[in-house]
Structure 1
Amino acid sequence: MTEAASSTIAATLTANRESAPTDFRAQVGAFELRWSADAPASLSVPTSTHAGRPGVGLVQVFTAVEQRARTSQAYWRSALGERLRVQGSDVTTDAEASRAVLVQTDAVSGIEVRTTVTAPVGTRAVHVEHDVRNAGRDTVLLTAVSSATIGFGRSQDDLDDVVWGTAASEWLAENRWGETSLRTLLPDISLSLHGQDARGHAAITSHGAWSSGEHVPCGYLTRGDGEALAWQIETSAGWHADLSQTREGGVLSLLGPTDLEHQFAHELLPGETFTVVPVAITASPSARDGAIAELTRYRRWLRGPARDQALPVVYNDFMNTLMGQPTTEQLLPLIRRAADAGVEVFCIDAGWFADPAIGDWWSTVGEWREASARFAEGGLRRVIDEIRALGMEAGLWLEPEVVGIDSPAAAQLPDEAFFQRFGRRVQEDRRYHLDFRHPAARGHLDATVDHLVAEYGISYLKLDYNINPGAGTDHHATTAADGLLAHTRAFRDWLERVQQRHTSLRLENCSSGAMRADYALLAVTHLQSTSDQQDFRLYPPVAASAPVSILPEQCGNWAYPARAMSDEETVFTLVSGLSGRLYLSGFLDELRPAQRARIAEAVALHKGLREHLADAVPFWPLGLPAWDAVTVCLGLHTTDGDLLFVWDRDAAPAAFELPGVHGEVEVLFPAADSVDRREWRLQSAEGGLSLATPAGLGARVLRVRRG
């Protein structure tokens, strides 16, 4: 921190103390921390009439002995949290971010909470994390701790035009965003007449180990005047987002695992410290798209050095292709065609380790050695040598956290290396779950990765996660959810250490097609497969919505042309791929020459756009699409103009407008804007860009240059 910056901060804090001895404030980026001698620290946006309200404690601590100070079902006003008082604070700044550190204590329980609020430069976002230390004499059993609790609105009337945006998610139908009026969730119940705050709440919650398998751990609140808050919870374990109302307005509380929702508790012995799940919050006066833009910028800061890596074009042999049954005979022609198309990484998917005679090999996974029966005449090495000889890097599929019940590794590793409940191994769909807190589990995978890199020169790993083991493991943990949280943290640490040993290794966070797409993992991996959806007609809503919760440059959107597709359908699936990181699959060796030409064109375009993709900010001219939306559009603001990815799923000719899109428009893909003599008609209009499309499925990539 510079001397001038330090002096300015010191002067600001001193002035606040002198003018109002019981009211202290610390500015951190666009946010402000506020506390007094009689109240815990709260978080707000001083330029906003909506975001943040003094008196709503930033951190709420629930224990087995003390829950709420006033009865309700919401996660705020905890008895312990209400008693927290700031004992010390410090604000620093450097070239990357400004940071405020507060230490609050509870004189009754002896709990001490050290809070760090970080505001990256260039964003209206804060990263919030807490360390809870037991400074008392007695053991404390934590049952829930809020990562951030923030008020919004200043009265009950302020809640009337607030909208809650969240995304439902499931396998093959990920990132289905929708908006609900807050009053639908929290009705006006005349709180002023009763002289009390409400007791109800509305919430979304994860279950088990798929952090985004049911709901995406991200959301937003918007108001009619354009003010918006967006948030994300950064954990691969349990999480909970909670809304409630008071006489003064609303309360949003973001948490990791809780006792009621996840069977969580953590025993905190005297002197011990528990680290709470971190979260991010952004604020914007520019509605949903503005708040998501701030979250996008924040995510790039969070990833740090990882975002400096190149963005290669990847081909994977799974989707609608070999489906987990690769062989030398089938792979070699795919490898040659992928190289012809300009692919840079060829990833061999699942099955490379399984004897083809087994058929359904899931119960045998976990040893991670090549199946010689699949790769005749030279083995897997011959296939990988062919990949590298044609100028591509080689990748393999791996599911590091599981061991099949029939795998030799299941007998070789000790019980303590696996998830356990009530003294027995947890089994899900014929597989055990490794516990990465145990050195034998980490050692097994360290040896696996080191072997694959040394023996085959692997530089890309697609990491899958296809089981949900329930609440977690209670072995060496207070509860199963406590064990799950500890495992996920150990797994993330393992990912970081692997990359420190193998600096050229790129990691894809597949996770059963985005069932565990969270920024605990995405901060330390490079690519996220956005879906396992094999119907190209259903992919556009997934691809268009994914950048709400995933960086555009990490959105691995599948494109899988097939010979049976028409030329327009081939373009349609390639546009889905181009809308993020182009992720190719399909029987390229069977395609018509015209289809192969389209793929080469798409790959070349993607290589030209990816430099701008790494700084792109998403927007949605038509709003976030419904699952059955006929017309879908994703926009990306880039330094080279705005990119628009437009899909028309109407069987009949269609005409529609993209509101607010103005400027010189060109069709980037397909280059000639003519497929089977079918053209899209584009025309500038007062309200935006008007489009007219022919009958049948169609999609285009457009670039708009503003004057």
Structure 2
Amino acid sequence: MTDLLHWSTPDLALTFVLDDGPVRLVAVREASQPRGGEPDPGQPLVEVAAVGHGHSSNRHAGTLLGQRLRYAGHHETGTTLRIVQEEPTTGLRVTSVFEARAGVRAWTEASIIGPGSLELTSLSSLVVGLASVDAELYSAANSWMAENRWSKRVVRDVLADIVHDPHHHVAKSRDAVTGMNSWSTGERLPVGVLVDRSTPYALGWQIEHNGPWHYELGETRHGGYLLLSGPTDLEHQWSVEVTADKPFTTVPVSLVVGTDVDSVFAALTRQRRAIRTRRPIDDRMPVVFNDYMNTLLGDPTTEKLLPLIDAAAEVGADYFCIDAGWYAEGVWWNTVGEWQPSATRFPNGLAEVIDRIHHHGMVPGLWLEPEVVGVRSPIADELPDDAFLTRHGRRVAENDRYLLDLRSPAARKHLDTTVDRLVDEFGIGFFKFDNNSVTGPGTDKNGTSLGQGLLEHNRALLSWLDGIQERHPDLLIENCASGAMRMDYAMLSRLHLQSTSDQEHPLLYASITAAAPAAVLPEQAGHWAYPITGTTREEFIFALVNGIPGRLYLSGHLNRMTPAELELIRSALSAHREVLEDLETLVPAWPLGLPAWTDEWIALSLTGAKVSYLALWHRAPGPSTITLPIPRSQKIAPHFPTDLGDWTYAWTDDGLVVTANTPEPAARVLRLQ
């Protein structure tokens, strides 16, 4: 007897098969689409492996325990669906949890019925059965100074096509994407889109974890599958013991659908807004000036900061953040950890600088790298070994830094005391929390696997962040890790701003700005705008345009600039504030497709019901014309700069034709209504 379980949210409809085999998720569609007629790929909803119950394959599908799971019941409560399955020989019980948001959020809970135990080596957060793998996968490389580099590949080019007669065996190849260690986005983004090549259907996902993760596409005899997971033994040296009293919960993932790439990223944008925990202070969305990029670069002093503070206030910045080095007597890298202001950098005390920020009505901010202690920091000897990540009883050290273990009460007390002191003493209203040191596979403290120790630390970090914001409700926190090496929605569901790169070249930053909304909300995407005095007007404008379609993160030697240059900055901030009025309702689209790293023309549209903003970058010298296939708007006007100069635009039957007649690279922002 086969039953179908249909469960719907306002946006999505899911169909599960309930029979004498494992539960299977066979359809994820838009709620408005009619149901029925879905093929059953035979793919279990949950894949799970354990010590003594492996399955001789690199991929995580086809597990013996996953095949032996059997439906034991389901429960719907409000916006949540829970599907329970059990495996009789081990006593394993798994519960798949689905939570309705703008899309669907899902995870898996595991425990043991009775007195036994099981050492899990992989457990999926979600597995979706696919009718076929005749599709294109959109995924993104993400590395320091070269973030958000999206590309597409045909899945069939990776998966061998032998699933048909007369072959009797199925290839066990997989198209896998994996994130490693504590930099969740240090090489790849935990985000993907699968676009069917024969029907107008696309499936999008993100894995919401601030540590290791894995997803893979594969094919079985009956069809394809998409598997989403946190850490595993094969990829991350992870395993965990579960008993009746020690359950385990996987990392959450989100799922959305659409008809094409842009509609999926619009749906992911709505989902990110739905899962984000917001506080009243998050509504403020200030313009932040930071002294690092193309400016002080980790060498702040009173003498250097005071004129910068005056200039930032003059152009209209709301917050002023002092970046790295404010605590250092000399080199700042391996002395981090004590977080006391430098006496040599600030002869009259840091308070003199902070008071100047307050005097101008700006909110002061500080850079902090909370999770590390430099080997030359006095606090390294004061804290016990238990406060640090260890392997075989020895502290993990990475490039002259020890790594704090946020499970440790001593580590948390040290950081809580630091944050509370800086807020109370100086009135700090903004922290740039950086993270420049990776953990490796983790810690084996307390007898855990390396991967489980890291997972527990990752989750303790999130708990620590929650505690800070509960104690300091008016504090805003930027998420930074060497730019965007931890740009995930475990962190971003709770923090205010995301630094999108450390890239110092405006021409290269253009593709980062344009692609960022595929991974992070526009209202959280902190794009550096660092105009350089003495450059041409077009170069100056180009650097400012990079910041406008998101959260403009201002830097540069403002105190050295000419009146004309300062007026351009004020004009850019005015244009940016207009975007901010609508930003939390806009969704991204890419009229020319997701940008490649070397594209000559780049276009990003932030689209709303009444107003849209179109950012355009031309990164080559000399005249050029491009046609953007976008619908004709009732009104189009220059947004920044308000004078298009040597640029022109006109509507044709094919869309909007834009010509850049400048002899050098240039950028513009248009407003469409």
1:151 corresponds to which residue?
129
Between the two proteins, the alignment pairs up a number of residues equal to: 662
Structure 1 contact 165–178 (Cα < 8 Å) conserved: yes
Determine which of 663, 669, 672 is the counterpart of 1:701: 669
Find the aligned partners of 1:226 and 1:391 in 2 and give their Cα distance: 52
Residue 71 of structure 2, aligned match among 83, 86, 91 = 86
In structure 1, C-alpha distance between the alignment counterparts of 2:495 and 2:133, rounded to whole Å: 38
1:517 aligns with 2:487: yes
Q: For residues 646-657 of structure 1, what are the structure 2 equivalents within 5 Å?
A: 646-657=616-627
Contact map agreement 2:41 2:223 (CA 8 A) in 1:
no
| Alpha-carbon distance between aligned partners in 2 of 1:587 and 1:129, rounded to the nearest angstrom | 47
What SS does the aligned partner of 1:388 have? Answer: helix
Measure the CA separation in 1 of the matches of 2:265 and 2:584. Answer: 16
Q: Secondary structure at the match of 1:372?
A: coil
The structural deviation recorded for 1:269 is 3.5
Higher helix share: 1
Residues 226-268 of structure 1: CA distance to partner in whole angstroms, max 9, x if unpaired?
Answer: 2100100011111111111123322111111111111111122
1:28 aligns with 2:8: yes
1:114 to 95, 102, 113: 95
Of residues 54, 60, 74, the one that matches 1:75 is: 60
Q: SS of 1:513's equivalent?
A: coil
SS in 2 for 1:374: coil
Cα distance change, pair 79–548 in 1 and its aligned pair in 2 (3 A): same
Distance in 2, matches of 1:240 and 1:136, equals: 31
| 2:342 aligned partner | 371
Residues 1:429 and 2:402 aligned together: no
Identity of aligned residues (%): 43
Distance 2:39 2:129 in 1: 5
| Aligned-partner Cα distance in 2 for 1:159–1:478 | 37
SS of alignment partner, residue 446 of structure 2: coil
Question: For 1:260 and 1:483, how far apart are their aligned partners in 2?
Answer: 16
Aligned to 1:557: 527
TM-fit CA distance, 1:131: 1.4
Q: Deviations along 1:543-567, whole A, 9 cap, x unmatched?
A: 1111101001010000001113211
Relative to structure 1, the CA distance from residue 445 to residue 634 in structure 2 (aligned partners, 3 Å threshold; closer, same or farther) is: same
Code of the aligned partner of 1:64: V
CA distance in 1, matches of 2:580, 2:487: 22
Segment of structure 1 superposing worse, 315-324 or 656-665: 656-665
Q: Please state how far the C-alpha of 1:270 moved relative to its aligned partner.
A: 4.0
Alpha-carbon displacement from aligned partner over 1:296-345 (angstroms, at most 9, x marks no partner): 10110100324853211000000010001101111111111111111101
1:171 matched to 2:152? The reply is no
Range moving further from structure 2, 263-272 or 227-236: 263-272
Residue 39 in 1 paired to residue 10 in 2? Answer: no
Question: How far apart, CA to CA, are the structure 1 residues paired with 2:290 and 2:13?
Answer: 43
1:354, 1:72 → 2: CA distance? 51
Q: TM-score, normalised by structure 2?
A: 0.96
Question: Unaligned 5+ residue runs, structure 2?
Answer: none
Give the aligned residue type for 1:32: L
Q: Quick one: which amino acid aligns to residue 145 of structure 1?
A: L
Worse-superposed segment, 561-570 or 526-535:
561-570
**Do the aligned residues in 2 keep the contact of 1:419 with 1:434 (CA within 8 Å)?**
yes
Letter in 1 for 2:285: L
Listed as ranges, the matches of 1:379-390 within 5 Å are 379-390=349-360
Matched residue, 2:205: 231
Partner of 1:584: 554
> Partners of 1:282 and 1:50 in 2: how far apart?
20
Match of 1:683 among 644, 650, 663: 650
How much has 1:136 moved relative to structure 2?
3.6
* Residues 321-340 of structure 1: pairs in structure 2 closer than 5 A: 321-340=295-314
Shift of 1:60: 1.0
- Normalising to structure 1: TM-score of the pair? 0.91
- Residue number in structure 2 paired with 1:10: none
Residues 612, 639 of structure 1: 8 Å contact kept: no
Aligned-residue offset at 1:441? 0.5
Among residues 643, 654, 661, which one is paired with 1:672 in the alignment?
Answer: 643
Aligned to 2:172: 199
1:209 aligned partner:
182
Alignment of 1:403-414 (within 5 A): 403-414=373-384
Contact 2:216 2:228 in 1 (8 A): yes
Whether the 8 Å contact between 1:51 and 1:283 is mirrored in structure 2 is no
Hey, what does 1:141 align to over in structure 2? Answer: 119
The answer to whether the Cα contact below 8 Å between 1:86 and 1:104 also exists between their aligned partners in 2 is yes
SS at match of 1:102: strand
Give the CA deviation at 1:104: 1.5
User: How far has the Cα of 1:602 moved from its partner?
Assistant: 1.0
Shift of 1:103: 1.7
Change (3 A) 1:212 1:58: same
Instruction: Work out which of the residue numbers 422, 426, 431 in structure 2 matches 1:461.
Output: 431
Q: Which runs of 4+ in 1 moved over 3 A?
A: 46-54
C-alpha distance in 1 between matches for 2:517 and 2:425:
37
Paired with 1:614 and 1:53, the residues of 2 have a C-alpha distance of 39
Matches within 5 A, 1:301-380: 301-306=274-279, 308-355=282-329, 358=330, 360-377=331-348, 379-380=349-350
Deviation at 1:109, TM superposition (A): 0.9
The answer for the alignment partner of 1:64 in structure 2 is: 51
Distance 2:310 2:484 in 1: 29
What is residue 16 of structure 1 aligned with on the other side?
Answer: none
Amino acid across the alignment from 1:141: E
CA distance, structure 1, for counterparts of residue 447 and residue 345 of structure 2: 42
